[in-house]
Amino acid sequence: MPRLFTALEIPRDVSLSLSLLRGGLPGARWIDPENYHLTLRFFGDVEGHVADEIAAALDRVRRASFTLALSGVGAFGSKKPHSIYAGIAPSPALHALQGEIDGICRRLGVPADPRKFTPHVTVARLRNVTPGEVAHYLSQRGNFSTAPFKVSRFVMMSSRDSVGGGPYVVEEAWPLDANEKAGVGADWAYAPQPAWQAR
């Protein structure tokens, strides 16, 4: 059964900027650029009928597109660092979208995500890396930022059992502009049949 979550995709030019953060930290396992994403709400391993209910409810989300920019680099796990991430510049539209999706999940009885929503894009998983090594890495890249990019849809992604970091597959997509349709735009991957329906 796939693990499911909603996310925002990262455009190719922004992924290229993120990929420049790779290197310079022994013990880091760098995420492949095609697997960069911003998680909105993690669902976990859910049954097919629950996934269908979530997808049907997300069909009713009506929000305008907005812009995002990546800003800064940080680490999760202060005493035992476990990942490196790029931060997101403040965005009320992003938090409003995430809040609506989280509200849909609560109404459907999907278990709450125990972690507070902290928008970020993971760029590396860490193993046996000291806080000092991480601090040195971050001090050299603290001024990282990207130009703003347009967010015109959000997606449901799946991941298989692994040590983390992908591969991720786009299962469903929802436009953020009323006059757009999911799947429009050759720059994005699109999977016509959700993985939970293929089982």
User: How do residues 47-80 score in pLDDT, each as one tens digit?
Assistant: 888 899 999 999 999 999 999 999 999 999 988 9
Q: How many residues does this entry show for the chain?
A: 199
* Whether residue 97 has pLDDT greater than 90: yes
Average pLDDT, the chain: 87
Instruction: Determine contact, residues 31/72, Cβ cutoff 8 Å.
Output: no
What is the tally of structural domains in the chain?
Answer: 1
Q: What is the CATH number of the domain that holds 99?
A: 3.90.1140.10
The per-residue pLDDT for 12 is 96
Structural domain harbouring 63: 3-197
- Count other Cβ atoms within 10 Å, centred on residue 10: 24
Q: What is the pTM of this model?
A: 0.86
**The one-letter amino acid at 169:** V
Which residues, at least 6 apart from 175, have a Cβ–Cβ distance to it below 8 Å? 152, 153, 181, 182, 184
The per-residue pLDDT for 3 is 85
Rounded to an integer, the average pLDDT of 14-42 is 95
Percent pLDDT > 90 in the chain is 70
CA pair distance 144, 124, nearest whole angstrom:
15
The per-residue pLDDT for 183 is 43
* Residue of 85 and 195 predicted with greater confidence: 85
